[in-house]
Amino acid sequence: MNAIIEQPMSKAEFLRWVQGREGRYELSGARVMQQMTGATVRHFSLADAIGDAIKARMNRRIWWCTTGGPGVDVPVQIAGATVRYPDVVVGRHGVSPAALTIGDPIVIFEVLSPSSVTLDLVIKSREYLSIATLDAYMVASQEEPRLTIWQRGADSLFPSLPVELADRNDRLDLGALSLSVTVGELYDGVVLA
């Protein structure tokens, strides 16, 4: 369960406040949300496996990929003052190495937990899809090899409903990164049972 810290904060206040603080926090509509700690080994293993699979296939001179940070700025007009910390984020080189957040991610993955279904599939999808540079937002199940995907089409728009890939042989094409990977490759080495 996530807990709300009642004092509203701006993004700048939150970023000063959260530095060096124990625990996990996000800023959601100017409210600090304490995130659940104690995610499963499977959760972290899946985030790492996804990050490793993407890094192995992307052009690392153009793109960077990280798990567990940095924060992603959500446009204020969509969600108020909001900073999220996706499980995996891919961006273009050129961001200051000292930046605490980025506003121009290309690809975002979240690993679904039982407590984060509504947050990841409804709230964060609305927030992330409002980011002008984002090409794809994916939510990975940690119960089975399954991805829920919102990806811009040829018209540069996101679909109204996500696509699901649920077979290890299903191929995910990330055209913005010029790479292709199967669901099985993203889940490689992750023990689901």
Q: Cα separation of 58 and 71, whole Å?
A: 21
With left for phi above 0 and alpha for psi between -120 and 50, is residue 6 left, alpha or beta?
alpha
Q: Does position 175 have pLDDT exceeding 90, yes or no?
A: yes
**What single-letter amino acid sits at 150?**
W
pTM metric for this prediction: 0.91
pLDDT digits (tens, 9 = 90+) for 55-110: 999 999 999 999 987 899 998 776 688 999 999 999 999 988 889 999 999 999 99
Q: For residue 151, which phi and psi values (nearest 5 degrees)? A: -135, 135
Q: Which position has the higher pLDDT, 114 or 125? A: 125
pLDDT tops 70 at residue 37: no
Q: What is the pLDDT of residue 75?
A: 86
Mean pLDDT, the chain, integer:
90
Residue 38 has pLDDT above 80, yes or no: no
14-34 pLDDT per residue, tens? 999 888 887 788 888 888 887
Cα 146 to Cα 93: distance, rounded to the nearest angstrom: 29
Give SS3 for 109: strand
Please check the confidence at residue 141 and state whether its pLDDT lies above 50: yes
- Strands of the sheet containing 3-5, edge to edge, are 3-5, 31-34, 25-28, 82-84, 71-74, 101-102
Residue 154 has pLDDT above 90, yes or no: yes
Q: Which two tokens stand for residue 191?
A: 């023990």
Retrieve residue 118's tokens: 């509504």
Cα 72 to Cα 25, 42, 58, 103, 170, distances in angstroms? 13, 23, 20, 6, 28
The long-range contacts involving 48-56, CB below 8 angstroms and separated by at least 24 positions, are: 49/186, 49/187, 49/188, 49/189, 49/190, 50/87, 50/88, 50/109, 50/111, 50/140, 50/186, 51/88, 53/181, 53/185, 53/186, 53/188, 54/88, 54/90, 54/107, 54/174, 54/177, 54/179, 54/181
Could you give the percent of the chain with pLDDT greater than 70? 94
Question: How many residues are recorded in the chain?
Answer: 193
* Percent of all residues in the chain with a pLDDT value above 90, rounded to a whole number: 66
Span 39-68+85-186: which CATH code? 3.90.1570.10
Output DSSP code: residue 24. -
Long-range contacts of 148-154 (CB under 8 A, 24+ apart): 148/112, 148/121, 150/125
